[in-house]
Chains A and B, each alone.
Chain A
Amino acid sequence: MTQDTKLKIQEKGFTMVELLVAMSLFMVFVVIASGSFVRALRTQRAVVSLIAANDNGSLSIEQMTREIRTGFGFSLTGNDLNFTNANGTQITYRLNNSTNIIEKGEEGDNFKPITATNVRINKLNFYLQGQLDGDGYPPRITIVINISPNIPTIKNISTNFQTTVSARNLDT
């Protein structure tokens, strides 16, 4: 605390009371201010990680839907989606249950993450319809993601994204 005060000769200094009052006022203010700053930092961190969760969720859904739309030969193994993409590559999308990250594999191997480590994918479900020949419907794939930020304090704030894609390659 810097005080730029100009005192006159007659005043010898502050009284004790004045000093006490000034200091306690200052302390109160500092406590309030620093508390608020700490809270603000936490809020900021939460906001950033929530935004990351939204972005990761929507980006991974976008990536999967784009590939599924032009793919064919869909099947499920457990909760993993397998299909052949427009390049003729066998693709698998799955949730890695130990890292809570969505992974994409090519030819049943070479699994690479498509979501970031600062978000947690709690659930990834695929629902498949019309994938069989002769069922009269084109393949219809529904993707549902439950995603939350990877910060312990706000882990329980989760968002459920769902979308459906109809494959453009018609079967019968």
Chain B
Amino acid sequence: MIQDLRFKIQERGQLLIESVVAISILIVGLMGIFGLLSRSLSLNNVVSSQYIASNLAAEGIEITKNLIDANIIQFRPWNQGFSAGSFEAAYDSLNLETDGNRFLLFDSINNVYNYQSGQPTFFKRVIEIDNNNPDEIKVTSKVNWQIKGGSYSVNAEDHFFNWRGSSGGGSGVSQTYVNTYNGADQGVSNGPLTFDGDFSTFMGNSGGAQGNTSIVSSQHTFATPTTINSIQYRMNAGGHCGGNYDKSADYNMYVQYRVAGVWYYLPGSQFSGGTGDGSVSYDTGNITYSTPIANVTDILAYAYGQGHGEDRASNGSFANIFEINYVAR
């Protein structure tokens, strides 16, 4: 400490006053510096909660992505369950719930942020969905919190697109639908097959009450060779005949894929049979084949049913494709 004090004889006690003033000025200055340090400690608290919040916001985005991919895996429309609005989801949620403006809880036993158990934290997370465009979902994951009188928020935004090619609402894998039949009755076409994983919907058939052959096939051609993760299908076909001569009936169904110009049967997808007398039919049931196949250019499903009898009035046949779906990687 350097004191540069000049005082005159007449002014006794000046030293004391001056030093008191000098010291208090110094103290005020130092207090400012120390205040800064302790403020940095409390600011660290804010920084730390911002780190937590950004990770929680990222979690909201990832949960949404997980649910979109679950739609793909389960052969549903890619954006099923994503309506516009504000939602909540915990780390283990299997669907988005309407936003209840709840605080996230931290369960210190299981060590996890959730909505079920634990102590309330000061974080609230809301996942906002905007789906104006059927081929796009805009997700905004917002984490808001208040500490020490300040309110903070972290917003994460992501846009997910329907790049796998199936569009919302369950229609849209462009299918070439062929419906041929051989007889007097009309075959029924229910239009293009849809990508919805809903086996209960009747997709397309061909039938001939007086004819003897029903064929239905559905082919999808990819714009570029594609890796197929899984294929799901259900078909049925059969025939019936009466009369006096040949009474046989038979069916034949299969799924094929084409790689480099060559058609291959999808393993386990060939079904055929027949009988010498009466009727025959077969339903494949719901089948999912889930071994990845690379460089697929086309997928084809084919179903055929026939009654051979010569008495056309008592012959019948049918062929249906209920579903042919695929998941491209």
Contact = CB atoms under 8 A, between A and B. Distances in A.
Contact of B58 (A1, A5, A163): A163
Contact of A165 (B34, B62, B94): B62
Contacts of A2: 1-3
B84 interface: no
Given A4-B3, A25-B19, A170-B72, A129 B92 contact: yes
Interface stretch (A51-59, A85-93, A99-107): A51-59
Interface stretch (B108-116, B218-226, B264-272): B108-116
Q: How large is the interface on A (under 10, 10 to 19, 20 to 34, 35 or more residues)?
A: 35 or more
Scoring B2, B30, B91 by chain A CB atoms within 10 A of each residue's CB, the highest score goes to B91
Contacts of A146: 111
Interface stretch (B37-45, B127-135, B146-154): B37-45
Contacts, number: 150
A113 interface: no
B74 to A, nearest CB: 5
Contact of A22 (B15, B27, B65): B15
Nearest to A124: B111
| Majority secondary structure of chain A interface residues (helix, strand, loop or mixed) | mixed
A160 B229 contact: no
Interface in B26-74: 26-27, 30, 33-34, 37-38, 40-41, 44, 47-48, 51-52, 54-56, 58-59, 62-63, 65-66, 69-70, 72-74
Interface of B: 1-7, 9, 15-16, 19-20, 23, 26-27, 30, 33-34, 37-38, 40-41, 44, 47-48, 51-52, 54-56, 58-59, 62-63, 65-66, 69-70, 72-74, 91-92, 94, 106, 110-113, 229-230, 288, 290, 327, 329
Instruction: Give 4 nearest A-B pairs by CB, closest first.
Output: A166-B66, A163-B55, A164-B59, A138-B69
Given A18-B15, A50-B48, A162-B52, 12 more contacts: A3-B3, A4-B5, A5-B6, A40-B37, A54-B48, A129-B92, A138-B69, A144-B111, A162-B59, A162-B113, A163-B55, A164-B59
